[in-house]
Each structure stands twice: as structure tokens, then as C-alpha cells.
Homo-oligomer: A and B are copies of this chain.
């Protein structure tokens, strides 16, 4: 795509002695990044042509896009480039898992200030690729541009393996609500960082690199889950989407959640109710799903509530006091 500015390419280096993205040029940086990537069996054609080609064995592809903006979804003094890569990949891979699909590929649009160190872009690529590799997926393509605002937009593709996608709209009264993964850890880590602390490490690391139970998505689909969602905006907010789409009420049991010691300590030190993190905090990318009551849940899935007739989401039968989640233009 052409630029409005001039086409003069400078082979400069920035103050640190390392190359800036404007110094190395677009094709130089693409070369440095693609040299760091490796490709799983779903990558039929990787980067370097007009498009990648990815396997879609059952004749369908699940596809989802998420964008992270510097200063809004991450801060470079809180997260390394590699951390941001892990988080950006996780946000997208979790969306694929929440359909019951296995992720196959990522495509990445990266917008960078011209003076950004190329090492940052390389670290980001490493993080994206490493997170994708945990599920056998690969970074297969992308685009980059100069921009005043560092921005990472990722698209993930996935394989439904012959199953119907698990939608938000299938929950039925009588279903069991279950959770795979954890909630509140990343939000607690973010609060800790926001207040100027760097510990407890458990929480800060949870914010930096979510631990997503990807395999639990396809597992839930095989078990006959009636609905599923990636918990990215906060458990109650995201269950609100399931409730609305399915036309059911959902009640969450507060005592289904243990408050880990580090979270309890941090909550006390910061004067926060830890259940605000657990019930309304985003970014851990747990998976929430509903199952018919006859399904024997494996250890990855723990029951946290029930689906009933009605509308809305309650906690122990009552409306939740406090925020349910986040609005992206707030």
C-alpha cells in the first residue's frame, strides 16, 4: 500500500545503537521477523506471498479478530514486547477455543512508531509465535505500517474438527454453568501494576501472560456443551452475553471461587474486594460453558453455577453490586 509521505528510505540507527523500524525499512523488518517463525502442519503456505494458505480440514474455518492498543490494552513499562505478543495471541486463540475449535493460524497487523526499536517488534513476534505454538498454531502472515500509536491487531483461525460451533445462544434452563481456567488473576495483576507495585508475581505474571485452558474448548464441545464464551471482559459481563443470546437466567455461586492467598493479601493491602476481580475482571481468558446436567465434567471444568428460566445474571440469587465488566470506549 502506498504512503502519502515521501518514499526515501533511510538506513539509520536510533540512539541506542540498535535499529529503528524506520531505519531498517519494512521489507528488512519483515525479513527479520519471518526468519524467527516456524510453521505447524496447518500452515500450507506461510508468509511471503500475497496471502497465506491454511488447512481447514472440515471445509469450514473459525475466524476472530482482536486489537490491542498501546496505553489502553497494554503499557510498555508494564509488559515486555514478548508479554504483549503472548497476550495478543491469547486473546484471539481463546476466542477460537470458545467456539470449540482448535486454533490453526494467526495473522498480525502491526502499527509502530517509526522510532520503535526493531527488537520490540521481534520480541512481539516471538511472543505471538510462542503462544500460538502451545496449541500447534503458527503466525502465517501479516502487515506492518508506521503509525503514531503502537497497535497490534491479530486475527486467529481455527478448525472445528467436524463439530458444530458452540454458540453463546444454546444455554438451556437446567444446564450446569462451568468454568475452565481462572478469573480475577489478571485484573488483580493490573490493579497491582496500576498502583505502582510489581508484586505479587503470581498476579502480575497472570496479567502479563494469561494462562488459557485452550484444550478445554474443544473438550467442552466433545462433551456436548450447550453454550460457551471466552471470559475477556469479566465473568458477569460475559455471562450476560450468554444469558441474552440464550434467553435464560444464569446464577453464579460465589463460593465456587477460592480466593488464593496472594490475591487475598493484595486485596487487603489495596483495599479491594477480591470478588470484584474474580467476578468482573477480564483478561484471564477463562472459558465459561454450560452443560446438560447429565454430563460428567472432567477436572478442567468446575461447576460454578446454574442456568434457569428468566433473564439476567445473578450471584447467589441476587443482582451483583459493583461493575460487571468493561466498555472499550469508557
Structural contact, B328 and A3, CB atoms closer than 8 A: yes
Q: What residues of chain B lie closer than 8 Å to A325, measured between beta carbons? A: 2, 7
| Contact among B94, B149, B330 with A147 in the assembled complex (CB-CB below 8 Å) | B149
- What are the interface flags for A3-15 relative to B under an 8 Å C-beta threshold, 1 for contact and 0 otherwise? 1111111100000
Q: Does A123 contact B (CB under 8 A)?
A: no
Q: Does A264 contact B (CB under 8 A)?
A: no
Structural contact, B56 and A5, CB atoms closer than 8 A: no
For chain A, the bracket of interface size reads 35 or more
> Which of A6, A49, A158, A160 counts the most chain B CB atoms within 10 A?
A49
> Which of A2, A61, A95, A157 counts the most chain B CB atoms within 10 A?
A2
Q: Does A91 contact B (CB under 8 A)?
A: yes
Which residues from 103 to 140 on chain A have a C-beta closer than 8 Å to any C-beta of chain B?
Answer: 105, 107-111, 114, 140
Structural contact, B145 and A50, CB atoms closer than 8 A: no
Structural contact, B155 and A49, CB atoms closer than 8 A: no
What's the minimum C-beta distance from A24 to chain B, rounded to whole angstroms? 8
Number of copies: 2
Docked CA distance A101–B50 (Å): 11
Known contacts: A98-B50, A325-B7, A328-B146. The answer to whether A63 contacts B234 by CB under 8 A is no
Structural contact, A147 and B157, CB atoms closer than 8 A: no
Q: What residues of chain B lie closer than 8 Å to A52, measured between beta carbons? A: 62-64
Known contacts: A7-B326, A233-B2. The answer to whether A49 contacts B153 by CB under 8 A is no
- What are the interface flags for A172-190 relative to B under an 8 Å C-beta threshold, 1 for contact and 0 otherwise? 0000000000000011001
Structural contact, A26 and B61, CB atoms closer than 8 A: no
Q: What residues of chain B lie closer than 8 Å to A245, measured between beta carbons? A: 48-49
* Contact stretch, chosen from A70-78, A249-257, A291-299: A70-78
Docked CA distance A228–B52 (Å): 14
Docked CA distance A66–B1 (Å): 8
- What are the interface flags for A191-221 relative to B under an 8 Å C-beta threshold, 1 for contact and 0 otherwise? 0001000000000000000000000000000
Q: What residues of chain B lie closer than 8 Å to A83, measured between beta carbons? A: none
Q: Does A311 contact B (CB under 8 A)?
A: no
Structural contact, A109 and B153, CB atoms closer than 8 A: yes
Q: What residues of chain B lie closer than 8 Å to A29, measured between beta carbons? A: 329
Q: Can you spell out 6 A-B residue pairs with CB atoms less than 8 angstroms apart?
A: A49-B168, A51-B62, A63-B105, A66-B109, A72-B145, A147-B149
- Which 6 pairs from chain A and chain B are nearest by CB? A56-B56, A2-B282, A51-B64, A109-B153, A153-B153, A149-B149
